[in-house]
Amino acid sequence: MTSFADRVVEVVADTRPGDVLSYGEVAVEAGRPSAARAVGAVLHHHGDALPWWRIVTAAGRLVPGLEEEQERRLHAEGVPCRAGHALRRGSRA
DNA sequence: TATCTGACGATAG
DNA sequence: CCTATCGCCAGAT
């Protein structure tokens, strides 16, 4: 019974190093475009079990409270960050 | 079953 | 750029 949470896990677990998506993007891929909030809850529950650092807000903002940790991990995967927001290729130069 | 909470998203000020 | 409000959904109590 692939629940929404399970779908989210699948999507996030399917991401590879250097990839960065927003909660909304994950929600869409999980089949619930308006469940971005639930996506965050799922990631928070799983903790380090999933590459949560590859997930940012729609505004490109990093996870509140973990900006340092996330920025460090993203940078380690080749994702440049600046002032708490991940610079995604294609979004803006 | 009802109510509250939260690692969200978009719009308005 | 930041704060505030509304809408949304899933999980916990």
pLDDT tens sequence across A28-56:
999 999 999 999 999 999 989 999 999 99
Q: Write down the pTM of the prediction.
A: 0.90
Please count the other Cβ atoms lying within 10 Å of the Cβ belonging to residue A30.
24
Count of domains for chain A: 1
From residue A53, alpha-carbon distances to A2, A3, A83 in Å are 23, 22, 16
> Does residue A91 fall inside a structural domain?
no
Range of the domain at A48: 4-86
pLDDT tier for residue A91 given thresholds of 50, 70 and 90: low
Q: How far is the CA of A28 from the C1' of B2 (A)?
A: 29
Give strand letter and number of the nucleotide nearest A8 (CA to C1').
Answer: C10
The bases of strand C with some atom under 7 A from any protein CB are 7-12
Assigned domain for A93 exists? no
Main-chain phi, psi angles of A2, to 5 degrees? -45, 95
